[in-house]
Amino acid sequence: MTSAATTVGSSVYLKIKSDIITGALTPGKKLKLDALKVQYSASVSTLRETLNRLASDGFVDAPEQRGFLVRTMSNEDLIELSNLRVLLQCAALKASLAFGDENWEGNLVSAHHKLAMTGKKIMAGEVVSLERQLHYDWEFHFALVRACNSRHMIAVFQNIYEKYIGYQLVLRNYRWAKALEEQHLMFGAALARDAEAATEHLKSHLRKSLSFSLAAN
């Protein structure tokens, strides 16, 4: 495959994945190649390759003889994703606290500041898109674990995070006030290199977020 074709394929992959995560392509929707060809200005061969890749990554279902469908959602799936986040993110956080240097600390301070400022704006009545809100949430959680010294762990964490956050984007809910308090506790413990406290605050945050999402579903 040429580099140009690779670039086009990657761009289409990211666009379709983003539309799945944000709910623009609704759960269970059949992904018809003719419609996608027009919507994403891509060839059928590029779309087939992209949908197969998305199926491999768990964003698309490909039942036999039924083409491609946007992955369905369920409470059971949300609970499983949350449990996986607890296991993986806590392990990555512990490693990150052990390996993180001054650059890691600087990135974490910046990510926490942007998240906190966004939350304060929202609580003051300013309108901020949910997609932007959750972008800053991702930046903060990624900043916590980015020094874990394992690209494979980061890749799996991002995959699980994107699926999990898709539920919040579809449900259109986020609990800013309480979440900011919990994230501030995580932030302080991480800067203090207190792995036990940081992971306990993270577990509590994720479990409370799960309960909130299940109640809103």
For residues 99 and 206, membership in a common domain is answered with yes
In terms of domains, do 91 and 32 share one?
Answer: no
197 and 90 both lie in a single domain: yes
One domain for residues 89 and 142:
yes
- Regarding whether 62 and 85 lie in a shared domain, the answer is no
Query: 80 with 34, same domain?
Result: no
How far is Cα of residue 184 from the mean position of the Cα atoms in its chain? Answer: 19
* Same-domain check for residues 166 and 200: yes
Parent domain of 36: 3-70
In this prediction, residue 132 carries a pLDDT of 85
Q: Are residues 61 and 124 in the same domain?
A: no
Kindly state whether residues 34 and 109 are assigned to the same domain: no
Number of structural domains (the chain) is 2
What does the pLDDT average to over 127-148? 90
* CATH number, position 66: 1.10.10.10
pLDDT band at 174 (very low <50, low <70, confident <90, very high): low
pLDDT in tens, 143-172: 999 999 999 999 999 999 999 988 887 766
Select from 70, 91, 119 the last residue of a domain.
70
Q: With 70 as the cut, is the pLDDT of residue 186 above it?
A: yes
Mean pLDDT estimate for the chain: 90
Better pLDDT: 205 or 129? 205
From 36, 54, 70, give the residue that closes a domain.
Answer: 70
Q: CB under 8 Å to 120, separation ≥6 — which residues?
A: none
User: What does the pLDDT average to over 95-116?
Assistant: 97
What pLDDT, in 10s, does the model give residues 190-205?
999 999 999 999 999 9
pLDDT score of 66 more than 70: yes
The verdict on 82 and 178 lying in the same domain is yes
The structure tokens listed for 52 are 């197969």
Residue 57: beta bridge partners?
none
**Shared-domain flag, residues 178 and 80:** yes
Tell me, what CATH number does 129's domain have? 1.20.120.530
Long-range contacts of 58-63 (CB under 8 A, 24+ apart): 58/159, 58/163, 59/17, 59/20, 59/21, 59/162, 59/163, 60/20, 60/31
**Which residue would you say has higher pLDDT here, 123 or 8?**
123
**CA distance linking residue 47 with residue 210, whole number of Å:** 34
139 and 163 belong to one structural domain: yes
Q: Is the pLDDT of residue 2 over 60?
A: no
